Structure 1
Amino acid sequence: MVLVVLVLVVVLGLLGGVHWYVWRRLVRDLTVPGGAARRVGTAVAVVLPLLSVGALVSGRAGAPFVLERVLAWPGFLWLAVLLYVTLALAVTEPLRPLLRRLLARRAEAPAEVPAEVPAEVPVPVPVPSAAPEPPAPAAPETPDLSRRLFVNRVVSGSAAAVALGTVGYGTYGVLRGPRVKRVTVPLAKLPRGAHGYRIAVVSDIHLGPILGRAHTQRIVDTINATQPDLVAVVGDLVDGTVANLGPAAEPLARLQARDGAFFVTGNHEYFSGADAWIDHVRELGLHPLRNARVEIGAGFDLAGIDDVAGESEGHGPDFGKALGDRDRSRTAVLLAHQPIVIDDAVRHGVDLQLSGHTHGGQLWPGNLIAELANPTVAGLERYGDTQLYVSRGAGAWGPPVRVGAPSDITVVELASKQA
């Protein structure tokens, strides 16, 4: 408990420091003390982080779904903007003194002396005997202060524009929908009759207060257009309850594949009522694999395990139940949300594991953090005799933004070495 409180204090302190830095560079350094612009900027700098906190906690706190949706857009988008505006401001810090020095040198350079003009005979001008004294002029702005304000506005404005452009483009990428990737995976034990078998892998759809029914429909249309033999929905379908998001998931009933669509839980299902969602996807025509295995007619075994987050509810992964008594001469394809179970998959003779969870990092440089917690962040890698493919996912968690990790639906084509 003490450790949790300590971590919370550190995180809050870090966020407070970052927000103060952004306020200083974008509000204090660019506005006049006491002016309307500074007051408005300061108010915005206080309200936006409060909206972010509200967006993060409203769902877990059981807030009305309408309130979740109101908080989600500004609250989550601000987190993405905060990340990139902080990075942009930090990168441009060295430019500030350099630009000020350059402007100061130009101001100190000697000006050209104009040619002499012949003096004219002054004409006496009558002066009124009781002329009023003119008002004292306002103190002029010093050259150094003027240069500093100019540099701050140029540098901070450029940093803000870059951050907003990055977030805008990343948001467009998510709302546009995932693109199709195609990967060929050769498998030594795959029979010749299964050569060219196509599995459409989709993970991390993350239906919630931002991504709804239209997002699901785009994904279903994209999958159906690839004409797969089988669809694998590899966890993190939702961020919310069936009551709130059931209608958003309904397009999944229109998935088309010769051998059907299969589903395994991700960690977010256990934040959203996993049992209720498993029942709901079954009603939509998907086949949940809860530590279970089926034989696919093409000639391989398809297994699925519950996510490790389900261990707290007594529904964690059970490799023995899913794979323990199978014929190891047959190819085994495993659906497992998190890549971290790859060692268990190797021990149980899995030929190919299909996973998601990482989002490919979602927001650069998040991929560097994801690499610390996952054996593979995205793509295909080999671990002993087992191959692991990790999808970047079709949606986004938190900010509906992806930078450096575009969303995808992957068509995995199985290749027989006997073909």
Structure 2
Amino acid sequence: MHLRYSRITGALALGLALGACQSGDKAATAESSAAQTPAAAAASADQAKGAAPADPKRTAEAAFAALRKRVPDFERLGYEHLVGDLDGDGIDDVVVAYGEGTADAQMATLKKWTAVMSRAGGPQLLAQADTPDDCVYLDRIEQGKLYLQVPDICTAARPKTREYLTYAWNGKTLAKVAGETADARLRQRLGALADAFARKDKQAILRAFKFPIPLGQVPVQGTPLGDEAERNQDRIDLAMAERHFDSLFPAQRLADYALLLGQVRALEPKPDQEGGETAYGQRPQGAETEWFELRIDWDPDEDRDEGNEELIQARIEVSGGIGKDVKAEANTLGEVLDREKASRRVYEEMRLFLIDGELRIQLPNGAG
């Protein structure tokens, strides 16, 4: 179970941030609640007698009561929590992330987290060891592992993830078992999507979409999928996309994407004139030259669009083509137009967003 709240926003003075750093909790050993609240006692009783799984809300309330013994006002500057089994005993545990600041702060300058394990004697707080002290956001608990995200700036209005962390139970505590930068995550997911297109894996490809899809967002007008979407209030749901996958990805588009993604996955983007990153590749194909381009914008305009409710980490654009006397690198609009003019065929383009650490196909074929 994952209960998320709006990310803490605002910018405070440096002195305030330093004060918050000095006030951080540095407990070195696990703590357990000496006197249980009614919620904690009820949750423990359910677990001890092997009853049906405890209500997640009751489990969370018991964990909050235990945390208040260490941080009495942890809710003051905002908090979020996850409920799930972390140590493989079949009983849900709780992870809480909460804001910190000086006594007079109105917004958090730090965001710490702690795990509260469900035990027969009551909730037990783990020591805050092997944990980033500056700022973390909870992602999910999945198959016994805890996934966290570390933002670039904790007080930013729209913080962007710079690192993804994974923690797992080692028999005594939760220890970090993996860490991945945002760039490494993007490249790994790009390679996985390339593999999915190469093997024509319909389910893996469709997982890169967010359903339902507005009809105008994909180039399917006049196809069986487009016709069915028109009868469905101009919306495409997953079942429709599965039935008419060939409408969404006809053979040529599927082949183009497999080719493009397969080529750009190995490119190394470099900073470009527009503040993003770009990489080019080309290879001879008989008398012609095949070219490829990968462009990444880590601060996309779409993230600030009115009505957007998601944190868009990056926009990724993939393109390519083939022709005689064509050069892949194109740094200006004029060079881009010259490259297209020199190409016998420009392959179908793809645009993706990196959202919550996963790639999402946004505009196949530049539609929209």
Which one has a bigger Cα radius of gyration?
1
Give TM-score, length-normalised by structure 1.
Answer: 0.26
User: Which structure exhibits the higher relative contact order, with contacts defined as CA atoms closer than 8 Å and separated by 6 or more residues?
Assistant: 1
Higher helix content, 1 or 2: 1
Give TM-score, length-normalised by structure 2.
Answer: 0.28
